[in-house]
Structure 1
Amino acid sequence: MLLQFSAAELGQLIVARAGSVHSPLTEQLMSKHFETKRRAASSGDVASWNNSIPVVVRALLDCGLDEVEVQVEVDLPHTNSAVDLVLCGQRPDTGTDSYLAVELKQVRHATVDPRCPVAVDLGFGDGKNKLHPVRQVQRYCEYMVRYLPHLRESADRLTGVALLHNARDAAVEALFDLPESDHGFLYTLDDMDRFRRVLTGRFAAASGKRAASALEEARRDPLLKVTDVARQRSVTGGGLTLLDEQYVAFDRITRHLEKTAPLTSYNVGLFYDAGAAHSSGPDPDGKRVYILRGGPGSGKSAIALELQRALGAKGREAVLASGSHAYTETLREIMLSTARRGRLSDKRSSARNLYRYFNSFADTPPDGIDVLICDEAHRMRRSSTHRWMPTELRDDNRPQATELIKAAKVPIFLLDDHQSIRPDEVGTAEYLKKVAEDSGCLVEVTDLEGTFRAGGSKRYQRWVQQLLGLGTSDPVAWRSDGRMTLTVADSPEQMERFIRERDLEGATARITAGFCWPWSNPDEKQLIDDVVIKGWHRPWNVKPEHRVPNAPTSALWSTDRRGIGQIGCVYTAQTFEYDWNGVILGPDLLFRNGKFRVERTASCDPAFRGPVDDTIVDRCVRNAYHVLLTRGVVGTVVYAVDPATHNELRRLITGTIGMQHYDGAQPKLTAEGSQLPPAYNSRHR
């Protein structure tokens, strides 16, 4: 949240001083925005603060609601999204806490995409469709209710509105076709009297400070991780609450499935009422391929799992494929855990059919699968040929992507251009788009801009890419935005103690490292302490082909609590996330002359043996650390083996680990200068 004032206080701040372009409120918000985000506010934000907030403030004052508290730019827990305004007060009938989320739009005209009624052109002139304002505020409200228990204490505690205060009904008529709900109503300039009635119906002429404090201090439920979602998909409301461009992408795909019902074996009305369904029939333009590109934590796997869940809820199946052993085997294991007595064999067979590897479609008949969701598509290989493949199916010249596109009526690829970590992994949006177009397909590429990791810190994502030299500027010092804790450990021992204490508090926590130490087979069912740094030594996670007592398999290292006893590698950490993330930078990444360089000879990754070009090794090592550094939901602790590199990290990162006392208890290691987010205070497992 940027600022909070009562309506009466805001009434004094929304009038511009003589000779000033901006109101005092806007000037305060611009200053607060720069202070917290370390960058200037966009022109759109400034215009909204200057022109849109006063409309709501005057409406409150006209209704005699001077003491209602107004919170500006309220962050959604764990994300980089924010609600424009949250009004806080007391219900006129019961006196209980009452809240109204308000999304402000300055648009005067709007048109709806004929292919997708939740994708709209709001006249911004950037050529990009946005999520329908009503659906946007509905999803924001649903998300707030999911993660803020205080809002769940009463069914009508929170409602939402989209206010298009410059638009006439006739100019945005198409927007009214989307059904409204208690979490989302649409009001225009023609509806201001109705909007005022909403205000008087929601709020009494009494102080809203108690309600505002209760919301600000409310406990936040921890972020649902990929594995949590996979486990809860059969539970009512167990799916994820997709936001903004996530939801647009999801809706576009599901509507395409409905439109091409005979082609994909779906009945008209699969996702929507039959009366509102598009006319059925194959897509006249040919096969359509969807590519969803986003950075770490942008919701790629969330969309993949939600698509599969939505189809399953309608009695349909979609295959989810990946190039990640850990991800695929974890999803299979979760499905097996739901098997009833005597049905384990059937459930195992279903799990293997629903969750597959990219290289398992060489013999699939054309269009043999209705919907193929390819998550982690950056792990796409050049070809599917592998050592166990029958001779008659081998074809080193046939791209793996071609096999996947051919196998499905509706292929969907989700990827991050900076997460391919092996020399033969070629999955980028550009590459997949070309392969699909060469196959005669239409291609839609959607960029997912949000983030549900690192406390919703977009700044942290940009900082990591700058640090590693991934297509951006040189490394810069980390400046906290209050969302993500980043700190440096003085030794691996200190890092381990810190991470283990977070685990004992009930948070998920892991340590990973660059692949700079050998990875031995277990000795008589005992793991070997391969990762050795001075006097400290720990084992890698279990190899995929082995089983070791009292240690999780490699596929479950990120999700099994026993995984905290081993050091994870990039192959077991990719896709997953945990609250606290310890990362050891090995000698394969050295900071010299103001930037990182890759030291190939220090890598122990067998993928780099043989005639692999140095530029490919450089890309893979940087991408591997990009993966490792972006697993943390709450905080990340780093340590570099190379002294010069560690000194540079100390220069770039101000956060340190220190000893503090809590309530007279024994001192414990904490990240100094950073208060733990409320969601991650001690909690029961």
Structure 2
Amino acid sequence: MLLQLSAAELGELVVARDGSVRLPLTELLVEQHAKVKGRPAGQGDIASWNNSIPVVVRALLDRGLSEVEVQVEVDLPHTNSAVDLLLCGRHPGTGTDSYVAVELKQVRHATVDPRCPIAVDLGFGDEKNKLHPVRQIQCYCEFMKRYLPHLREDTVQLTGVVLLHNARDADVEALFDLPESDHGSLYTLDDLDRFQQVLTSRLAPASGKRAAHALEESRRDPLPKVTDVARYESVTNGGLTLLDEQLLAFNLIMRHLEKTAISSGVEEGLFHDSSVGHGSPGEPERKRVYILRGGPGSGKSAVALELQRELRHHHHRVAVLASGSHAYTETLREIMIGTARQGQVSNKRRAANRLYRYFNSFADAPPDSVEVLICDEAHRVRRSSTDRWTPKERRDDDRPQASELIRAAKVPIFLLDDHQSIRPDEVGTADYLKELAERSGCSVEVIDLKGTFRSGGSRQYQHWVRQLLGLDTSDPVAWQPDGRMTLTVADSPEQMERFIRERGLEGATARITAGFCWPWNAPEGEHLLDDVQIGEWRRPWNVKPEHSVPGAPRSALWSTDPRGIGQIGCVYTAQTFEYDWNGVIIGPDLLFRDGKFRVNRDASCDPAFRGQTDDATVARCIRNAYHVLLTRGVVGTVVYAVDPATHNALRRLIPGSIGMQHFDRAQPKLTAEGPQLPPAYRKRRG
């Protein structure tokens, strides 16, 4: 949140000063934005603060609601999304806490995309569809109610509105076709009286400080991990609350799938619209390929699993989810098998193996034999599907693996991060897939997922990691704490391990990972070898995929089994997954020299880099591997570098440290000093 003041206090700040283009409120918010978020405010934000907020403030004052508390730019829990205004007060009928979430838009004209009723062009001139503002505020309200228990105490406690104060009804007429609800209604310049009536129906002329304080102090329920989402899909059939680009992508794809179902004779369902053409007879529509591109924690896997759930439970259609990750695929299979009733395990296992598959299992699939193929972790698509087990007569087949996936599916969907390919033969990028699909005669739609549902919702942290590793155009910079993500440096691997284990004992999920700079040996009998050695400190890697060891989880389950805290994870077992606290050991394959990180391939023990792999490819893979490792944490990340010069550089760049503090007169414990722990972290109660 950038600012909280009463409507009366804001009223004094929305009076223009002579000779100044910006209102005093705008100047204050510009200053607050730089202080809270660590970067300058954008021109769009500044324009909204200067032009839109005063409309709401004056409406409150005109209705005698001067004591209502107004919160500006209220962060949604665990994400980088924010509600423009949250009005906090008392309900005029019950006297209980009451809240109005307001989404402000300066648009004057808007049109709806005929392919999808919630994709709209808001007239900004960028030719990019946005999520329908009513659906946007509806989802924001649903998200707040899901993760803020205080807002679930009363069904009428929270309402949501969209205010287009520059637009006339006639100029945004198409937006009114979307059904409104208590969590989302639309008002324009022609509806300001009705907008004010909503305010008086939800807010009494009384102080809103109690309501504002109660919400600020309320508990935040934890955000589900990827595996939690998969369990919901398998066990409870519960849906997710998708936001912004997530929901837009989901609905565009579902709309297209509904259209293909109708044209192929399948019974029409939720998204049927008879006004949308389905192609002339004899002129089949080109196959459409969807590419969803997003950074770590942008919700790619959530979209994939929600698509699969929606198709299965509401449309009775099967979507196969494929991946190049052994850990991810086997974990999803294990979750599904775990739901089997007595005597049905073998049937459930066969179903899981059909539903969750690997990229290389489609080499011989007939064309269009899979109705919907969701390719998650598509940055791990390889040049070809041939390997050492491929029959001799097919080893010279140079057909791209992505071509096999596109050919096998009626509707192929790829989800990827351009900076997460970690092996030399992994070629999955949005540009590569787009070019390949278009050469195959397909139409392609690329959708960018810009949200952040990891790292405390800190987009700043995601950008900082790319800068640190040289994956961005700018050089590394010092970390500016943003109150969302906790980033600290450990003085030794022993200190890191103690800190991580303490977080685990408190009920948080916590793991340590490391760069692939130590041998990964097979176990000796029933014991793992302590391969990772730093001075006197020694710990084993996670179990190799082809082995099992008593007391330790299988490789595929290292990230999700509580026993995984006892081993060091590598990038191949950590990728895709997330945990509350993330310890990362930077090995000697990545050295900080002359102001930036440089790759030392000679220190890597990854067998993927043997042979004739060129230096540039190895450097790309190692940087991407650390990009994966550094972005697994939901709440916080602790780093340690083996190389002394590199560790000192991290000390200069990261102000946070691990230290000893007392809590409630208890014995001292290791804690993350510096930035206050973000609200996403709460000790779980038994």
Same fold (TM over 0.5): yes
Match of 2:320 in 1: 319
Counterparts in 2 of 1:305 and 1:281: CA distance versus 1, 3 Å = farther
Counterparts in 2 of 1:139 and 1:264: CA distance versus 1, 3 Å = farther
Q: Secondary structure at the match of 1:116?
A: coil
Q: Secondary structure at the match of 2:214?
A: helix
Amino acid in structure 1 at the alignment position of 2:493: P
Q: Secondary structure at the match of 1:659?
A: strand
Post-superposition offset of 1:117: 1.4
Post-superposition offset of 1:242: 0.9
| TM-score (norm: length of structure 1) | 0.98
Matched, 1:223 2:205: no
Amino acid in structure 2 at the alignment position of 1:61: L
Matched, 1:268 2:268: yes
Q: In 1, distance between residues paired with 2:563 and 2:93?
A: 52
Match of 2:417 in 1: 416
Deviations along 1:250-274, one digit per CA (max 9) or x if unpaired, are 11000001112256664222x33x5
Deviations along 1:575-621, one digit per CA (max 9) or x if unpaired, are 00111100000000001111111111100000011111111101000
Counterparts in 2 of 1:389 and 1:294: CA distance versus 1, 3 Å = same
**Contact preservation (8 Å) 2:373, 2:413:** yes
Match of 1:302 in 2: 302
Post-superposition offset of 1:393: 5.2
Matched, 1:133 2:133: yes
Matches within 5 A, 1:174-253: 174-234=174-234, 238-253=238-253
Q: In 1, distance between residues paired with 2:396 and 2:266?
A: 33
Match of 2:161 in 1: 161
Match of 1:446 in 2: 447
Amino acid in structure 1 at the alignment position of 2:232: Q
**Contact preservation (8 Å) 2:488, 2:638:** yes
Amino acid in structure 1 at the alignment position of 2:349: R
Counterparts in 2 of 1:237 and 1:354: CA distance versus 1, 3 Å = closer
Q: In 2, distance between residues paired with 1:284 and 1:366?
A: 16
Post-superposition offset of 1:394: 4.5
Q: In 2, distance between residues paired with 1:665 and 1:652?
A: 32
Q: In 1, distance between residues paired with 2:393 and 2:227?
A: 37
Q: In 2, distance between residues paired with 1:265 and 1:462?
A: 47
Match of 2:87 in 1: 87
Q: In 1, distance between residues paired with 2:538 and 2:265?
A: 55
Matched, 1:62 2:72: no
Deviations along 1:61-95, one digit per CA (max 9) or x if unpaired, are 11111111110000001111100000111111111
**Contact preservation (8 Å) 2:424, 2:609:** yes
Post-superposition offset of 1:317: 1.1
**Contact preservation (8 Å) 1:263, 1:409:** no
Matched, 1:519 2:520: yes
Q: Secondary structure at the match of 2:117?
A: strand
Post-superposition offset of 1:140: 0.6
**Contact preservation (8 Å) 1:287, 1:410:** yes
**Contact preservation (8 Å) 1:505, 1:681:** no
Q: In 2, distance between residues paired with 1:478 and 1:225?
A: 26
Q: In 2, distance between residues paired with 1:593 and 1:265?
A: 64
Counterparts in 2 of 1:632 and 1:188: CA distance versus 1, 3 Å = same
Q: In 2, distance between residues paired with 1:252 and 1:447?
A: 13
**Contact preservation (8 Å) 2:367, 2:409:** yes
Post-superposition offset of 1:284: 4.2
Counterparts in 2 of 1:583 and 1:208: CA distance versus 1, 3 Å = same
**Contact preservation (8 Å) 1:420, 1:426:** yes
Q: In 2, distance between residues paired with 1:662 and 1:267?
A: 61
Give the aligned CA root-mean-square deviation in angstroms: 1.4
Match of 1:50 in 2: 50
**Contact preservation (8 Å) 1:464, 1:629:** yes
Q: Secondary structure at the match of 1:161?
A: strand
Q: In 2, distance between residues paired with 1:184 and 1:565?
A: 47
Match of 1:676 in 2: 677
Match of 1:542 in 2: 543
Structure 1 alignment gaps of length 5 or more? none
Q: Percent identity?
A: 77
Matches within 5 A, 1:426-575: 426-575=427-576
Amino acid in structure 2 at the alignment position of 1:538: R
Instruction: Name the stretch that deviates more: 562-571 or 29-38.
Output: 29-38
Q: In 1, distance between residues paired with 2:65 and 2:284?
A: 56
Amino acid in structure 1 at the alignment position of 2:638: V
Counterparts in 2 of 1:437 and 1:90: CA distance versus 1, 3 Å = same
Deviations along 1:173-224, one digit per CA (max 9) or x if unpaired, are 0000111111110111111111111111101111110000011111101111
Q: Secondary structure at the match of 2:187?
A: strand
Matched, 1:347 2:365: no
Amino acid in structure 1 at the alignment position of 2:631: T
Match of 1:71 in 2: 71
Q: In 2, distance between residues paired with 1:41 and 1:329?
A: 44
Deviations along 1:332-372, one digit per CA (max 9) or x if unpaired, are 00001110111111100000000000000011110000000
Post-superposition offset of 1:279: 4.8
**Contact preservation (8 Å) 2:234, 2:339:** no
Q: In 2, distance between residues paired with 1:275 and 1:593?
A: 60
Amino acid in structure 1 at the alignment position of 2:406: I
Matched, 1:379 2:385: no
Counterparts in 2 of 1:670 and 1:414: CA distance versus 1, 3 Å = same
Count residues in correspondence: 683
Q: In 2, distance between residues paired with 1:104 and 1:21?
A: 20
**Contact preservation (8 Å) 2:421, 2:624:** yes
Deviations along 1:135-163, one digit per CA (max 9) or x if unpaired, are 11011111111110111111111110111
Q: In 1, distance between residues paired with 2:550 and 2:520?
A: 18
Q: Secondary structure at the match of 1:79?
A: coil
Q: Secondary structure at the match of 2:120?
A: strand
Q: In 1, distance between residues paired with 2:620 and 2:674?
A: 34
Deviations along 1:469-493, one digit per CA (max 9) or x if unpaired, are 0132111111111111111000000
Q: In 2, distance between residues paired with 1:470 and 1:435?
A: 24
Q: In 1, distance between residues paired with 2:359 and 2:178?
A: 38
Instruction: Name the stretch that deviates more: 277-286 or 668-677.
Output: 277-286
**Contact preservation (8 Å) 1:117, 1:178:** yes
Post-superposition offset of 1:680: 2.0
Structure 2 alignment gaps of length 5 or more? none
| TM-score (norm: length of structure 2) | 0.98
Q: In 2, distance between residues paired with 1:396 and 1:76?
A: 50
Q: In 2, distance between residues paired with 1:325 and 1:264?
A: 34
Amino acid in structure 1 at the alignment position of 2:198: V
Match of 1:99 in 2: 99
Q: Secondary structure at the match of 2:542?
A: coil
Q: Secondary structure at the match of 1:511?
A: strand
Q: In 1, distance between residues paired with 2:162 and 2:376?
A: 33
Match of 1:405 in 2: 406
Amino acid in structure 1 at the alignment position of 2:32: K
